[in-house]
Amino acid sequence: MTDNLESRRYQMFPVLSAEQIRLATRFASSGPHTFAPGEVVSEIGDRNSPARLILSGRLDVFRHDGLSMPEALITGHGKGQFSGEVSQLSGRPALAGARAGPEGCVALAFDAAHLKALIIGSADIGEIIMRAYILRRVELISFGGSGSILIGHPGARDLVRLQGFLSRSGYPHIVLDAASDHEGQALVERLGILPDDLPLMVCPNGTVLKHPTDAEAACCLGIMPELDPATLYDVAIVGAGPSGLAAAVYAASEGLSVIVIDAREIGGQAGSSSRIENYLGFPTGISGQALAGRAFNQALKFGAEIALPLDVNELVPAPAGKRGTDPMVLRVGGDRQVKARTVVIASGARYRRPDIPDISRFEGAGISYWASAIEAKLCENDDIALVGGGNSAGQAVAFLAPRVRRLHLVIRRSLRETMSAYLIDRIAALSNVEMHVGCELTSLAEDPHGRLAATLTNFEKQSRKNYDLRRVFMFIGADPNTDWIKCRIKTDDKGFIRTGTAFSPDVEEELGRRSLQLETSLPNVFAIGDVRAGSTKRVAAAVGEGAAVVSDIHAALRQASLMK
């Protein structure tokens, strides 16, 4: 990865032509500013730090490197170069600092709004900046030390959880072993940290968090935005999976004000897929995390606001008689609220739990519902089991099997009934995959060494067999994630939300229209993706619904404007 990035440094740190500089100047948020030699322009962790276009001199950009926090020079921007990375698109805390070079510098400032206006207003310059910013974030992730530092015991449940949250959120970090790494040990001893306080998280601004939740980590990193209760959005989207992000990109690009809210991180279940090979336009495949990261950056580019990890606790529809004119309310994160003219439910589905006694005791500490590089590292050259026979399970098998000693694939029926042919062929070529057809995982226990003792039961043969495993991966489907809605909404017998059903006559008369294709039984509330009844459980289908729902939203908003 590092070698590949090195070959693309000309794209990572491009130089604008004289004509491009002239055009960009029109979009600056403030006129040229002169910085004295060595003057600090921005610090690591600064919020709303603008991007800078260098007109003369040099701007040195630096990052922190490890716990001792020495500065490491990333690059020196000269005339015609832009500073910043993805954080500059959203006003989130900067992951790098900047100071004027030995000869000083003169630079234009572009805050988040003016930077996005430039990116959209000039396709040529926009492509250059977006590519550079994405590559710079990838480089920061590869170095790790420019972001957060996690200190704990490798494989511990909460350390793995934080690693997963930061990885899927696209934030750089490094992990230090609290027992064997010198820097980690020294900090633990200096602060008098107790075992229950681990893991520690050292944020880029130096703040130390003890045993943080994902939400606490997000607050420290500035991922979670400040919500203005007075703001009225055109569209509030619940869920940042492929369908929700697609809706955000298309709605924001068409001028609608958009907020996306998710309780976890971007990507949804697709974000945990190691490789999606049947998505149009990616013949060699793309990881779910990479696809979600690109969609996230697109949404930011067009001005969508993304709030995560933030729980939505309740949907409060507009009262009867005012359903076309009054906004709806989402109650989020306790006592906060978001107001919107329309709501898109893209909350997907929750991982289904097997009926195994005390299963919650093993979740995150032996049982995983996704297969990322973090989990794969924990079970290298060891025995594991994977339960499930769908495409997600097949992708996980193809990803994990080359990294482990033996993979036990536990399925109820033939793979040909549930999995795509290309995945079946790939699994058949893996010599270390052992198939257990007609079997179920019926019990788990932990041995004294922290390993799992798993029992597989074949109900047809009435036989049981025990296996010693490092980890178990569950891919047995999902249930609709709709508990947060609370108000009455039409669903099918499995709880998935129905769309396109007729409104009652009084609602049609009030709104002056019939229900739309992706609209739920609640006026101006839409459902897309896996949470929708009858949806095709494919990434491409979810993205298509995210694009299609924007036409319905426009129609609903047009009719609402006629009612005022």
User: DSSP labels for 115-128?
Assistant: HHHHHHH-HHHHHH
Residue 434 pLDDT > 90: yes
Q: What angle do CA 246, 163, 3 make, to 5 degrees?
A: 80
Q: How far is CA 39 from CA 69, 97, 103, 146, in A?
A: 20, 12, 10, 21
The structure tokens 């257990």 sit at 436
Q: Which two tokens stand for residue 412?
A: 């109820």
Q: How far is CA 164 from CA 170, 265, 320, 386, in A?
A: 10, 10, 43, 19
| Residue range 332-343: mean pLDDT, rounded | 91
Residue 166 pLDDT > 80: yes
Decide if 475 contacts 393 (C-beta within 8 A): yes
What was the pLDDT predicted at 275? Answer: 82
Write phi, then psi, for 324 (nearest 5 degrees).
-95, -15
Global pTM value:
0.88
Q: Express each pLDDT in 293-325 by its tens digit.
A: 999 999 999 999 999 889 999 999 998 888 878
| Residue range 280-290: mean pLDDT, rounded | 88
Strand partners for 384: 407, 471
| Residue range 462-477: mean pLDDT, rounded | 93
Q: Which two tokens stand for residue 424?
A: 């079946």
Task: Name residue 480's amino acid.
Answer: P
Q: Express each pLDDT in 14-44 by its tens digit.
A: 999 999 999 999 999 998 999 999 999 999 8
d(CA 534, CA 536): 7
> How confident is the prediction for the chain on average, in pLDDT?
91
Q: Express each pLDDT in 180-229 by its tens digit.
A: 888 888 888 888 888 889 999 988 878 899 999 998 999 888 887 788 88
What was the pLDDT predicted at 28? Answer: 97
Q: Express each pLDDT in 115-146 by its tens digit.
A: 999 999 999 999 999 999 999 998 888 876 67
What was the pLDDT predicted at 3? Answer: 58
The structure tokens 């990035």 sit at 5
Strands in 37-140 per DSSP E: 40-42, 51-64, 71-77, 97-110
Q: Which two tokens stand for residue 314?
A: 């309740």
Cα dihedral across residues 552, 558, 560, 563: positive or negative = negative
| Residue range 81-100: mean pLDDT, rounded | 92
d(CA 477, CA 473): 12
Residue 287 pLDDT > 70: yes
What was the pLDDT predicted at 564? Answer: 65
**Beta-carbon neighbour count of residue 40 at 10 Å?**
11
Higher pLDDT, 352 or 428: 428
Decide if 392 contacts 277 (C-beta within 8 A): no
Read off the DSSP letter of residue 81: -
d(CA 89, CA 54): 18
What was the pLDDT predicted at 169? Answer: 86
Closest-CA residue to 354 (of 444, 414, 263): 444
Read off the DSSP letter of residue 61: E
Q: Express each pLDDT in 217-272 by its tens digit.
A: 998 888 877 888 899 999 999 999 999 999 999 999 999 999 999 998 898 888 77
Residue 527 pLDDT > 90: yes
Strand partners for 253: none
d(CA 524, CA 290): 32
Q: Which two tokens stand for residue 286?
A: 């793309």
Instruction: Measure CA of the first residue to CA of the last residue in the chain; give whole Å.
Output: 56
d(CA 218, CA 216): 5
Q: Over pLDDT 70: what percentage of the chain? A: 97
157: CB partners within 8 A, 6+ apart: 363, 364, 365
Decide if 91 contacts 111 (C-beta within 8 A): yes
Residue 445 parent element (H or E) = strand 439-446
Q: Over pLDDT 90: what percentage of the chain? A: 63
Pairing mode of beta strands 200-202, 148-152: antiparallel
Helix %, strand %, coil % for the chain, to 5? 30, 25, 40
What was the pLDDT predicted at 144? Answer: 66
What was the pLDDT predicted at 233? Answer: 97
